[in-house]
Structure 1
Amino acid sequence: MGLLNEVVPLLAQYWPVVLTSVAIGWLLNNKFWKGLNKYPGHWLAGYTNWWRFWDVWGRKHEWNILRLHRQHGDVVRLGPNVLSFGDPKAIKVIYGLNKGMVKTEFYPVQNAVSKGRRLQSLFSTTDEEYHAKYRRCVNSAFAMSSLVNYEPLVSSTVGVFLDKTQELYAKTGASCNFSQWLQFFAFDVIGDLTWSKRLGFIEENRDVDGIIAFLNKFLSYAGPIGQMPMLDLLLEKNPLRLFAQRIGLSNTVFPVTLFAQTRSNERAGEIQKIKTYGLPEDQSNPRGVDLLSKFAQATHDHPEFMDDTRILTSCTSMVFAGSETTAISLSSVFYFLLKHPRVYAKLMTELDDAVANGTIEARANRTVSWSESQKLPYLDAVIQESFRLHPAAGLILERVVPPQGMDILGNFIPGGTIVGCNAWVLHRRPEVFGTDVDIYRPERWIEASAQQLKDMKATMFQFGAGARTCIGKNVSLLEVYKLVPSFLRRFEIELERPEAEWKTHNAWFVRQTDFNTRFRPRETPA
């Protein structure tokens, strides 16, 4: 007690010195923690996570991290406890099966909320056992073999999109905000795939229920806040706020969740039948079986795990992840084509030749099927090169090193360290893609030797890698490979201002703005 009486007055008298000493001690502890000070990076990154928070908040993180890797080498420190690996060989080590790596707290920041409870999705959960059970339930819905089920649904929306483009833009000569227009397409495809119902984005040419505006705002929040997840517990996922929702004092529901609930409730009776009896095997459905039906079938097959909340979560995830990334990829393909007229002309020659020799059926609405698109090597090269130069995800895909620590490419990394790779860095590795990595050149995918092509494909990271690879990858590819050739066959596209560059906004996914175009109906080649 006597010691306390002596210490308290001293603390009161010298509190500025004490506070300064504690702050300096904390910063130095961060800097030298676990010996990570040997890895280079921005000089502030070793001291505090506020550096990476502000860097991501600046919306240009993909260029900053690329510059840091080019300046400092394969391992760059992004925070006191965060390392970015730029060597493609790190992909197998960090994201490979049975490596003991788990997702970080960056991901639960992206949980949707319903009635005060977080909806743990396949994407956002950090629990590997939960993820494995969940994935077993829905895997078949996303398998490549299921594409045949979904193609009629995608074709239906492609047809409407082409007709609306003709009516609103090609016929009138009006300017089109192309990245937004492609996002309307991606959203309506997700509506058709998930609920067998387009949601009205294309037909009404507007952001239905303000859902895109909400998503943009939410992802812009999740990117920087995810660098310091504790902030989310003070803001959106504040425990008091969630408790108030659970007991009915607050009725706040994520607009995306409400959106998914409303769509699913419209089919409640039919879905209850599938949950009870399963999908009828003897009935053919010319429009294809949608994802809501498949999720209900998963409840029939796995009633112990796949409940109504997880059906809702799965539908919500489709809206969250399925629209944004696909729209970004589509914008990239068209933008790079328009910026490189030689490539555009060469692709059109391939498409016209394919129609002339019967590889593509000469349909009245000029659409191209999935199987036809897979026989067009230059189209594939154009799409792959667009994925390479502008992958949708703009941050590292974070993982936590297991407690015992592990060796990553000759570096012993202590347990608990956050590690990851960034697609923008991996996709510009000269030893994999050639010395002209900053140039858009689809020919690299055709000229490559068998071994080079294998290495290039193994380095592509736009859908992630390993057990947590994006489950909707095949659905996204189906949309891209169908829409791009169909649109190009129907319309001639030109940039409104050919000399201008688009703007990008890294909100975790790197979306594009200021991509304005005009369309003309394309004459059928003789």
Structure 2
Amino acid sequence: MSLTLSTDELLSSISLQTIAISGLAALLLVHLIPWLVDRYNLRAYPGPFIAQFSDIWMGWVALRGRRSVLVHELHHKYGPFVRIAPNHLSISVPEALSVVYGHGTGTLKSDFYDSFVTIQPSLVSSRDRAEHTRKRKIVSHIFSSKSVVDFEPELRNFVEILLGQWERMYQDALKGLSGGQGENEWNGGDGRLWFNCLPWFNYLAFDFIGDLAFGKPFGMLSAGKDTAMAVKDVDSAMKSLDGGDTSSMETVEIPAVKILNGRAAYGAPIGVLPRYWRPIVGKLPWYSRGSEDVGTMAGMAVMSVAKRLAVPSNRNDLLNKLSGAKDEHGNSMGREEVTAEALGLLVAGSDTTSHSIAAIVYYITRDPRIQKKLQEELDAHISDTGPVSSDSVKHLPYLLACINEGLRLFSTVPIGLPRVVPEGGLAFMGHFFPEGTILSVPSYTIHRDPAVWGDDPEVYRPERWLEADKDRSVLMHKAFTPFSIGPRACIGRNIAMLEMEIAIASVMHEWDFVLEEEDQGLLFKEGFIRRPLGVRVGVKRRNII
């Protein structure tokens, strides 16, 4: 056997080496040249070394699910201005909120949001200013304080189902029975029902939003499990939707909560990567699963909208309101746009609310003093058992303080939402940011600023909302951004607050809570939003006089 290389083999070897070296050189130049040119004048700002040259640092920390915590630590290390990507500056100054997100600044959502688009951009994901304005004018009245009151009866019905399911499990637990599987496993002991309350708040939020968005709940509360239906082929289903024919849609049962979590976990790490990377990275196993979750959620929306619109109804739900709404030119939304908006509401208004409720219940439960104080306030204003009414609890100061403090500390959307500096640039605190620069203000860090919240920002202490003098109160409310601010603030804030007030007040009024295990802190995973990994508690009925 010859040990020498043939001419062809030698040329092939040289060719491969040349390709490899050329590829490496091109890769270095792609990241080095922008750094040398420094188009956005960010070279002087501190941050992770790799983040100066590549988005890979941001992609990695987002994939790990702890972006907000790591960015928070960077601000502690470097100060209020931190470079977290070649063209992305994080600013941890409360006053920056109005500059980056406020009215009249002209900033736009970055292409980060494109990773969440499936059917077409919705009110939540639309980046075009004119299109967003058109959509918001059509739907804003639907989410007004006056309109939201119309949805309360449906919400209370779902809370009643939740309480009934807990009562059933509680009575069985007292008999020594157990049940459920996985995260839904429950048992009895010491006169309590021991279970994970997080899934049940997920079921509540999904059924309520499903009923609100699609005219029919998914049935998760009644079934006591994560279940929904979706079409298999979204593209063909969309064609059927346009024609009003639903008979040919092939459907499949899916775990909607799990899939939505996967969708959120996928969108965050891939959204921070450059657009030209996404098709390549999206083929990797983990990312491809996340992409499938995005499509599956779209399939659930398509099927739900198709079935709802197939039978005309005067029912008071989002689809009925959207179908009849018109823009300033008298044009109504097409079925594809209506479907996208319904999906946007489902995604934005389900697990965000349920995770917040679970986190707030956890914080209240871990401190018996706080739980006792809240229950005393509830007892003084609520005489009946069952779901509370909004009128009976919406003005209770300690309940609102408990909710606000939970939203502050848990920060359901903890990351800095990226915004693109408009033409003409922006100036802030003596710094000038040219057009195209991406800026963000991390709510997780702003919600922990000692200058705003005092010397104990990591402590869950509802009293801080009641003790603050006028000046401090104004400062706190300006820095408090669980629903963001400005023209792109969460349009569903009124619905979310209604749901949190009624759900938290109802369960805390009827049940006494303790944590199942010694408190080790609230474990979580982060995608676009923060998700608790579980809130296992023991509950027993309170003796309400």
Q: TM-score, normalised by structure 1?
A: 0.85
Residues in 2 aligned to 1:49 and 1:430: alpha-carbon distance in whole angstroms? 30
Q: Which structure 2 residues correspond to residues 164-183 of structure 1 after superposition, within 5 A?
A: 164-169=165-170, 171-172=172-173, 173=188, 174-183=193-202
Shift of 1:29: 3.0
Residues in 2 aligned to 1:110 and 1:289: alpha-carbon distance in whole angstroms? 28
Shift of 1:49: 0.5
The answer (yes or no) to whether the contact 2:100–2:440 under 8 Å persists in 1 is yes
For structure 1, which segment, 56-65 or 345-354, has the greater mean C-alpha deviation from structure 2 after superposition? Answer: 345-354
The answer (yes or no) to whether the contact 2:162–2:200 under 8 Å persists in 1 is no
Shift of 1:502: 3.2
SS of 2:104 mapped into structure 1: coil
Task: Note the alpha carbon deviations across 1:342-371, whole angstroms, 9 max, x for none.
Answer: 1111111111222xxxxx3x2242x22112
Matched, 1:203 2:248: no
Residues in 2 aligned to 1:180 and 1:414: alpha-carbon distance in whole angstroms? 45
The answer (yes or no) to whether the contact 2:263–2:293 under 8 Å persists in 1 is no
Residues in 2 aligned to 1:417 and 1:223: alpha-carbon distance in whole angstroms? 19
Residues in 2 aligned to 1:302 and 1:177: alpha-carbon distance in whole angstroms? 50
- For 2:113, the equivalent position in structure 1 comes to 107
Task: Note the alpha carbon deviations across 1:428-468, whole angstroms, 9 max, x for none.
Answer: 11111112111111111000012211221111111111100
- For 2:340, the equivalent position in structure 1 comes to 313
Matched, 1:28 2:52: no
Q: Which structure 2 residues correspond to residues 408-427 of structure 1 after superposition, within 5 A?
A: 408-427=428-447
- For 2:295, the equivalent position in structure 1 comes to 254
The answer (yes or no) to whether the contact 2:366–2:514 under 8 Å persists in 1 is no
Residues in 2 aligned to 1:475 and 1:440: alpha-carbon distance in whole angstroms? 24
Matched, 1:294 2:295: no
- For 1:49, the equivalent position in structure 2 comes to 55
Residues in 1 aligned to 2:221 and 2:466: alpha-carbon distance in whole angstroms? 35
The answer (yes or no) to whether the contact 1:93–1:408 under 8 Å persists in 2 is yes
Residues in 2 aligned to 1:290 and 1:138: alpha-carbon distance in whole angstroms? 12
SS of 1:261 mapped into structure 2: helix
For structure 1, which segment, 87-96 or 397-406, has the greater mean C-alpha deviation from structure 2 after superposition? Answer: 397-406
Matched, 1:406 2:426: yes
Could you tell me which amino acid in structure 2 is paired with residue 232 of structure 1? Answer: R
Shift of 1:235: 6.2
Residues in 2 aligned to 1:486 and 1:474: alpha-carbon distance in whole angstroms? 18
Q: Which structure 2 residues correspond to residues 334-483 of structure 1 after superposition, within 5 A?
A: 334-354=361-381, 360=382, 362-365=383-386, 367-483=387-503
Gaps of 5+ in 1: 1-9, 114-118, 239-250, 274-278, 280-287, 355-359
Q: 1:189 aligns with which of 200, 208, 212?
A: 208
Residues in 2 aligned to 1:125 and 1:79: alpha-carbon distance in whole angstroms? 23
The answer (yes or no) to whether the contact 1:153–1:196 under 8 Å persists in 2 is no
Shift of 1:403: 3.4
- For 2:267, the equivalent position in structure 1 comes to 222
Residues in 1 aligned to 2:159 and 2:489: alpha-carbon distance in whole angstroms? 26
- In structure 2, do the counterparts of structure 1 residues 39 and 160 end up closer, same or farther at CA, with 3 Å as the change threshold? same
Task: Note the alpha carbon deviations across 1:212-234, whole angstroms, 9 max, x for none.
Answer: 12111111110100111524344
Q: TM-score, normalised by structure 2?
A: 0.82
The answer (yes or no) to whether the contact 2:137–2:327 under 8 Å persists in 1 is no
Matched, 1:146 2:167: no
Residues in 2 aligned to 1:165 and 1:328: alpha-carbon distance in whole angstroms? 18
Shift of 1:154: 0.8
Shift of 1:411: 0.8
Residues in 2 aligned to 1:169 and 1:254: alpha-carbon distance in whole angstroms? 38
Shift of 1:162: 0.9
- In structure 2, do the counterparts of structure 1 residues 167 and 70 end up closer, same or farther at CA, with 3 Å as the change threshold? same
SS of 2:331 mapped into structure 1: coil
CA-atom RMSD, angstroms? 2.5
Matched, 1:97 2:118: no
Could you tell me which amino acid in structure 1 is paired with residue 216 of structure 2? Answer: K
- In structure 2, do the counterparts of structure 1 residues 252 and 90 end up closer, same or farther at CA, with 3 Å as the change threshold? closer
SS of 1:112 mapped into structure 2: coil
Shift of 1:198: 2.2
SS of 2:82 mapped into structure 1: strand
Shift of 1:147: 1.8
Shift of 1:259: 1.9
The answer (yes or no) to whether the contact 1:170–1:518 under 8 Å persists in 2 is no
Q: 1:324 aligns with which of 338, 347, 351?
A: 351
The answer (yes or no) to whether the contact 1:505–1:512 under 8 Å persists in 2 is yes
Shift of 1:252: 11
Residues in 2 aligned to 1:308 and 1:235: alpha-carbon distance in whole angstroms? 32
Shift of 1:26: 3.9
- For 2:158, the equivalent position in structure 1 comes to 157
- In structure 2, do the counterparts of structure 1 residues 401 and 519 end up closer, same or farther at CA, with 3 Å as the change threshold? same
Shift of 1:237: 11
Could you tell me which amino acid in structure 2 is paired with residue 326 of structure 1? Answer: T
Q: 1:267 aligns with which of 308, 323, 326?
A: 308
Residues in 2 aligned to 1:79 and 1:72: alpha-carbon distance in whole angstroms? 15
The answer (yes or no) to whether the contact 1:186–1:326 under 8 Å persists in 2 is yes
Shift of 1:474: 0.9
The answer (yes or no) to whether the contact 2:408–2:480 under 8 Å persists in 1 is yes
SS of 2:83 mapped into structure 1: strand
The count of corresponding residues between Structure 1 and Structure 2 is: 478
Residues in 2 aligned to 1:105 and 1:265: alpha-carbon distance in whole angstroms? 30
Shift of 1:24: 4.4
- In structure 2, do the counterparts of structure 1 residues 439 and 472 end up closer, same or farther at CA, with 3 Å as the change threshold? same
- In structure 2, do the counterparts of structure 1 residues 159 and 51 end up closer, same or farther at CA, with 3 Å as the change threshold? same
Q: Which structure 2 residues correspond to residues 63-102 of structure 1 after superposition, within 5 A?
A: 63-102=69-108
The answer (yes or no) to whether the contact 1:169–1:176 under 8 Å persists in 2 is no
Matched, 1:213 2:240: no
Shift of 1:395: 1.9
Task: Note the alpha carbon deviations across 1:272-306, whole angstroms, 9 max, x for none.
Answer: x7xxxxx6xxxxxxxx8221211122159865241
Could you tell me which amino acid in structure 2 is paired with residue 332 of structure 1? Answer: A
Residues in 2 aligned to 1:193 and 1:12: alpha-carbon distance in whole angstroms? 59
The answer (yes or no) to whether the contact 1:189–1:198 under 8 Å persists in 2 is yes
- For 2:230, the equivalent position in structure 1 comes to none
Residues in 2 aligned to 1:295 and 1:184: alpha-carbon distance in whole angstroms? 25
- In structure 2, do the counterparts of structure 1 residues 314 and 17 end up closer, same or farther at CA, with 3 Å as the change threshold? closer
The answer (yes or no) to whether the contact 1:89–1:409 under 8 Å persists in 2 is no
